[in-house]
Amino acid sequence: MNNNQITFLSFFKILAVAIIITLASCSSSEKLSQPAVSNSTGSNSKNLTEEQTINLRYLYVNAVKEKLAGNLDKSVEMFLQCIRIDGTNHAAMYEIALIKSEQNKLEDALFFARSAAELDKNNLWYQLFLSELYVSSGENSEAEKLLSRLHREHPDDLDLSFKYAAILLYNGKYDETIKVYDQIEQIIGINPDLISDKERLYLKLGKTDKAAIEVEKLIAKNPAELKYYSMLVELYQITGDQEKAYEAIQRMQAIRSDSPYVYLALAEYYRSGNQKQKSFEQLKLAFGSIELDSDVKIKIISSYLPLVESSQEMLGQAVELSSILAETHSGEAVAQAIYGDFLVISEKYTDAKDQYLKSIQLDDKNFTVWQQLFYCYSQLGDYKEMLEYTSRALDLYPEQSLVYMFHGIALAQNDRHSEAIKVLTTGSKLVVDNDAQLFQFYSSLGDSYNELKDYIESDKNFEKALKINPDDPFLLNNYSYYLSLRGEKLEKAEEMSKRSNDIQPGQASFEDTYAWILYRLGKYEEAKQYLQKALDHGGESSGTILEHMGDVLFQLGDTDKAVEFWINASKTEEASEFIEQKIRDKKLYE
């Protein structure tokens, strides 16, 4: 199946219980013999003297105590003393094997586990632990042999049967695995998880008909349960038998045509036939059904994520489906947040913000939603409202450095720089292994200290940020501009500003900064060239750029042209406090 295809039916298939090859759980078997306990020496020998028996019991009990106390090496030594007294002491061997396994000394563990299992073949604890060690050591064929024997000896032990099936499956013996599953089915009856596992194995073997028979067994037992028909539809979709897939859908429709499972089955059917619009219409019907669990819808919508970046069509569908999800499940915070996420991808930040606010009202314990909300505020430049919600978030997440960062930025944007510095300094101390965050903290601190005219601390923080990322164009631009305004370190400012323009050319603000530094260095002709670039790249509406061009032209002796630029600059809100004097006196004031 193509990786870009979206399979809807797979979300309704009953997931089989994963059979993990750990073989560690023995608790469900009624017939397991308990391993040796403190009142037993675990000995097969009948030739011990009374003194040896007393010593053996003493050593064994104390070895167990040392093990419980965590003194594993001492415990092993005492168990070994038990074995020296009685070479047939399988319980001591088993205990040593357990300890060696815990210490990841598998070779030693195997030696003692084999010895214990050989001495007491009827103790399932020993046998199963040995099989587990075989698997851990990669000796899967040995594990299979052992579990095969145990399965023959205990055919009604379900726990053992599943362990045997697991190792067969691990070893790629699918036919034999199915036979064991059939034996289990004879004991527990028709089980959806077991059927699903057998269906999957039959498909691996290319036996589609037998896979279908397994699903039909579920349908026969539960003829009104539509999700089992969905399994059948999916089976035929996988094997490419569209005719049989449609027949299965018709069987579903005969039971209930308006079921969301029918809509999903049709959506997959139409998608397989490349009837994209019909498929999407069915999918919308499914999403509009409150009967269909939101978790299922979320899994489906999540499958769009790899596609939306490269396809506007897929993005449009994802936005529409997530909108239906949010409306149908209006009381679920996650549903609102997911809609917000796709709106962010669509760069609809106002609408996304509203969705995140709805999500937080329903459940304010999802930090990712808060993070997305702050991102929307920053994109919208709404720092007043951002300040309100970052304040709330600080109470909920006092250990989250990211909240301090956004809160500090919001304070700074509201001209509360002293407060911003305190918050940003505190937040920077909470950052762990995140240079990108530290960079933002130092950059923001540099800005706020500059606004307070504490230039020593400002430069110190900008230098810290540069050490983390010496090629960030915005940092290079801002730092160099601040230096130019102060008339300090102009050679360094020129170098940084030139670098920012090389990294991100065509930025009017960057070009204006570089031009202004050249101006401060007396390089008026070069400054004029860069200011013209800034004007060409959208700077004609910037009062700062217009006024700077007027200043440069005045220095070059073109007073009349300079006044024209000053007049245009005065019509904006960005001109300096000297603009009216410049125009009136036709003279430069700085």
**19: which residues sit within 8 A by CB, 6+ positions away?**
162, 165, 166, 169, 197
The rounded distance, in Å, linking the Cα atoms of 50 and 44 is 15
Q: 3-class SS at 444?
A: helix
Amino acid at 58: Y
**404: which residues sit within 8 A by CB, 6+ positions away?**
394, 423, 424, 426, 427, 428, 430
Are 569 and 550 in contact, with CB atoms under 8 Å apart?
yes
The rounded distance, in Å, linking the Cα atoms of 135 and 143 is 6
Q: How far is CA 274 from the centre of its chain?
A: 32
Are 576 and 548 in contact, with CB atoms under 8 Å apart?
no
List the domain boundaries for the chain: 470-585
CA atoms within 13 A on the CB side of 549: 27
DSSP per position, 470-489: TT-HHHHHHHHHHHHHHT-S
Of the candidates 360, 341, 365, which has an alpha carbon nearest to the alpha carbon of residue 351?
Answer: 341
Q: Give Cα separations from 556 to 346, 484, 526, 544, 550 (angstroms).
A: 48, 20, 11, 18, 10
**Tens place of pLDDT for every residue, the chain, 590 residues?**
333 333 322 322 222 222 222 222 223 333 333 444 333 555 555 678 888 889 899 999 999 999 999 999 999 999 999 999 999 999 999 999 999 999 999 999 999 999 999 999 999 999 999 999 999 999 999 999 999 999 999 999 999 999 999 999 999 999 999 999 999 999 999 999 999 999 999 999 999 999 999 999 999 999 999 989 999 999 999 898 999 999 999 999 999 999 999 999 999 999 988 999 999 999 999 999 999 999 999 999 999 999 998 899 999 999 999 999 999 999 999 999 999 999 999 999 999 999 999 999 999 999 999 999 999 999 999 999 999 999 999 999 999 999 999 999 999 999 999 999 999 999 999 999 999 999 999 999 999 999 999 999 999 999 999 999 999 999 999 999 999 999 999 999 999 999 999 999 999 999 999 999 999 999 999 999 999 999 999 999 999 999 999 999 999 999 999 999 999 999 999 999 999 999 999 999 88
CATH number (3.40.640.10, 1.25.40.10, 2.60.40.420, 1.10.760.10) of 470-585 reads: 1.25.40.10
Angle between helices 192-204 and 208-221 (to 10 degrees): 170
